[in-house]
Amino acid sequence: MLNAGFKIGSLRGNRQTGLGYGLKTKKMQNAIITGFDARRCLCCGGFMVTFSDNPTPYEADYYQWRIAHNGPNFGVSHASNFPLRVKISFQPKTSDCIASLGEITVTELEIVAQSE
């Protein structure tokens, strides 16, 4: 049985954004990093990235971006002023433990605007 606490949509892709499982973006897309997922669950954590226009954390469907230790963070940290409007290129990441639409690896990021 596949439904073990994670969203089935994360394995099929997302119709709203056109993101499919195993595909990567070829050009930069507009996105919003709404903040850090600070919920206390085994599969939570990472920065919340949404492709909707809703900058409010946890309200819009989002993808998780976990920055690997000493990995590229492109100037994004816990101390950033969220929400951050960004342009990103990314790849979906295979993960068995997610608490969102899926986990992504950001390959390119440009901060367009951030909150004051």
What is the C-alpha separation between 29 and 112, in angstroms, rounded? 11
Which of 3-7, 51-55, 66-70, 90-94 has the lowest average pLDDT? 3-7
Total domains in the chain come to 1
Does any domain span residue 2? no
Residue 3 lies in a domain: no
**CB contact set of 93 (below 8 Å; sequence gap of 6+):** 102, 103, 104, 105
- How confident is the model over 16-42, as pLDDT tens digits? 444 444 445 568 999 999 999 988 888
Kindly state whether residue 4 falls inside one of the protein's structural domains. no
Whether 4 shows a pLDDT value over 60: the answer reads no
Reduced to 3 states (helix: H, G, I; strand: E, B; else coil), residue 9 is helix
Kindly state whether residue 33 falls inside one of the protein's structural domains. yes
Task: Calculate mean pLDDT across residues 50-68.
Answer: 90
pLDDT digits (tens, 9 = 90+) for 65-108: 998 767 789 999 989 999 999 999 999 988 777 788 989 999 99
Query: Strands, E, within 44-102: which ranges?
Result: 47-50, 63-65, 84-93
User: Which domain range does residue 91 map to?
Assistant: 9-114
Task: Identify whether the C-beta of residue 75 lies closer than 8 Å to the C-beta of residue 63.
Answer: no
Which pLDDT does position 30 carry in this prediction? 96
Q: Is the dihedral of CA 25, 86, 50, 108 positive or negative?
A: positive
Q: How far apart are CA 92 and CA 25, in angstroms?
A: 9
Q: Which pLDDT score, from 0 to 100, does residue 27 have? A: 84
User: Is 66 contained in some domain?
Assistant: yes
According to the model, what pLDDT value does residue 94 have? 86
More confident residue, 58 or 26: 58
Q: How far apart, in Å, are the Cα atoms of 109 and each of 17, 21, 103? A: 18, 20, 16
